Amino acid sequence: QSALTQPASVSGSPGQSITISCTGTSSDIGNYKYVSWYQQHPGKAPKLMIYDVSNRPSGVSDRFSGSKSGNTASLTISGLQAEDEADYYCNSYTSSNTWVFGGGTKLTVL
């Protein structure tokens, strides 16, 4: 199973909005609603930010939102804050009953 495709890096200024894309295939993102997004700060374990494409766990800011169209999922962060600077990974369930992660996107808050 090949990794999902994410941009290596994105950046934005405080207060702005950014979107991170995650492209898969009809064997993963395109055929299932099971897309999740994880935030990882350096040296820390990942943290769940979005599950089932667009749902936020309790405690996650509503500045984070998710969506999906066809084989591509997206994570949008609005009102960027310095603390949002981190690596972000998408994840999808696959037709092989396995999971696959994206390669990760480094978000820089300018």
**Which residues here bind other proteins, judged by CB under 8 A?**
1, 3, 32, 34, 36, 38, 40, 45-48, 51-52, 57, 89, 91, 93, 96-104
Contact yes or no for 28/10 (Cβ under 8 A):
no
In sign, the C-alpha dihedral spanning 96, 8, 15, 58 is positive
Least gap, CB of 74 to other proteins (angstroms): 17
Strand partners, 19: 76
Residue 21 or 40 with smaller CB distance to other proteins: 40
Strand partners, 108: 11
Contact yes or no for 51/36 (Cβ under 8 A):
yes
Least gap, CB of 16 to other proteins (angstroms): 25
Residue 11 or 98 with smaller CB distance to other proteins: 98
Residue 13 or 58 with smaller CB distance to other proteins: 58
